[in-house]
């Protein structure tokens, strides 16, 4: 992997990640951009203990532009974009409309491919490994920022999810706090550790899941299953078999196997509802341990956390979506219409031959 860092016309950082060490990046951003102005504010909810980011500037972000005006395609001829060069392998840049910025963290965009009409599942294994290396590098870099406590790499795909740009891309958030979902996991991990005299909850969960009927895909270093308490109609959790706290701690064997496993999962998601359906909308979310020791979790170390990816879709059947209605949105109690056992069976049925 070759890494080349540059600056866009408004001062934001952009990094090219190339497969070939011989690639040279010299293109400049010639757009007449003013410096980016953001208004991100972090507010703490005293009743729930939640944190909310207020980011009013995002109201003016780019919304479903025509394909010939996509800001994530490479710059070609007189069509200037966020990527100055005429092609790229993988590129990461600071979001022009960030939810978090400055003392409130950082938001980055990850473009997986220059092909506007492709998807992550269309990438080859070598290219997928490059994306993994880019995620890992950005996790390392953002972890050194004083304003960042937790790094979250994720992909949203599909209009149904709320994506406003159709080009294959993901995002990376550097939160200045431990997210509520991670805090819940850490509390459960701490309680289990006390109750068992040092046992690890993630290890116990993985062992239980691998012994059940909802396993859909395994390798020497990775395992994927539909969880017993799946919240979403089709939800898969992907774990390294050796517990590590973050992407940085993956060994070479796990990194080498990941592309094959992950691409197969994404291809199965595209086949769940049949070839006549539009591409399956999904969210793919990496859960990593916070950096440092969050307040309130005495006795829990970073190494007690288990890196894992959660992949799920909001589509529950052909032509129908799972909406977060009264129980889910009002009380955070999910009601799943698809039994996890049936979801796992379906995900095995659509395996590549």
Measure the CA dihedral 249/252/254/259, to 10°. Answer: 120
Which of 127, 167, 169, 237 is an active site residue?
Answer: 169
Q: Distance between CA 61 and CA 66 in Å, rounded?
A: 14
Q: What phi, psi does 202 have (nearest 5°)?
A: -60, -40
**Parallel, antiparallel, or unpaired for β 282-287 and 308-313?**
antiparallel
Q: Distance between CA 115 and CA 129 in Å, rounded?
A: 17
- Kindly list the distances between the CA atom of residue 47 and the CA atoms of 51, 54, 106, 179, in Å, as whole numbers in the listed order: 11, 18, 26, 16
287 has catalytic annotation? no
What string of DSSP letters covers 100-116? S-GGG-EEEEEE--S-T
The helix (H) or strand (E) run that includes residue 259 is helix 252-271
- Helix, strand, coil % in the chain, rounded to nearest 5: 30, 25, 45
- Active-site amino acid positions: 169
């Amino acid at each position: 992997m070759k890494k080349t860092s540059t600056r866009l016309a408004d001062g934001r950082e952009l990094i090219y990640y190339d497969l070939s060490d011989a690639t040279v990046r010299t293109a400049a951003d010639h757009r007449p951009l003013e410096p980016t102005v953001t208004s991100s504010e972090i507010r703490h909810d005293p009743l729930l203990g939640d944190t909310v980011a207020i980011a009013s500037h995002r109201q003016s972000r780019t919304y479903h532009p025509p394909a010939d005006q996509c800001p994530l395609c490479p710059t070609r001829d007189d069509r200037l974009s966020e990527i100055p060069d005429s092609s790229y392998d993988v590129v990461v840049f600071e979001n022009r409309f960030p939810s978090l910025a400055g003392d409130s963290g950082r938001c980055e965009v990850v473009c997986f491919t220059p092909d506007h009409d492709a998807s992550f599942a269309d990438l080859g294994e070598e290219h997928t490994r490059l994306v993994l290396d880019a995620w890992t590098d950005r996790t390392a870099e953002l972890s050194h920022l004083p304003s960042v406590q937790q790094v979250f790499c994720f992909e949203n795909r599909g209009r149904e999810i709320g994506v406003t740009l159709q080009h294959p891309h993901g995002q990376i958030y550097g939160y200045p706090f431990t997210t509520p979902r991670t805090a819940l996991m850490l509390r459960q991990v701490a309680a289990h550790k006390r109750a068992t005299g040092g046992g690890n909850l993630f290890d116990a969960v993985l062992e239980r899941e691998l012994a059940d009927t909802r396993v859909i895909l395994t390798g020497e270093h990775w395992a994927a299953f539909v969880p017993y308490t799946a919240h979403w109609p089709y939800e898969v959790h992907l774990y390294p078999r050796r517990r590590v706290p973050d992407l940085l701690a993956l060994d070479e064997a796990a990194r080498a196997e990941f592309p094959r496993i992950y691409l197969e999962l994404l291809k199965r998601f595209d086949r769940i509802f049949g070839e006549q359906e539009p591409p399956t909308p999904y969210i793919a979310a990496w859960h990593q341990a916070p950096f440092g020791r969050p307040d309130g979790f005495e006795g829990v170390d970073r190494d007690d956390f288990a890196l894992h990816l959660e992949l799920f879709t909001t589509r529950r059947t052909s032509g129908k979506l799972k909406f977060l209605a009264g129980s889910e949105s009002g009380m955070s109690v999910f009601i799943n219409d698809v039994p996890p056992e049936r979801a796992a069976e379906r995900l095995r049925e659509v395996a590549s031959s």
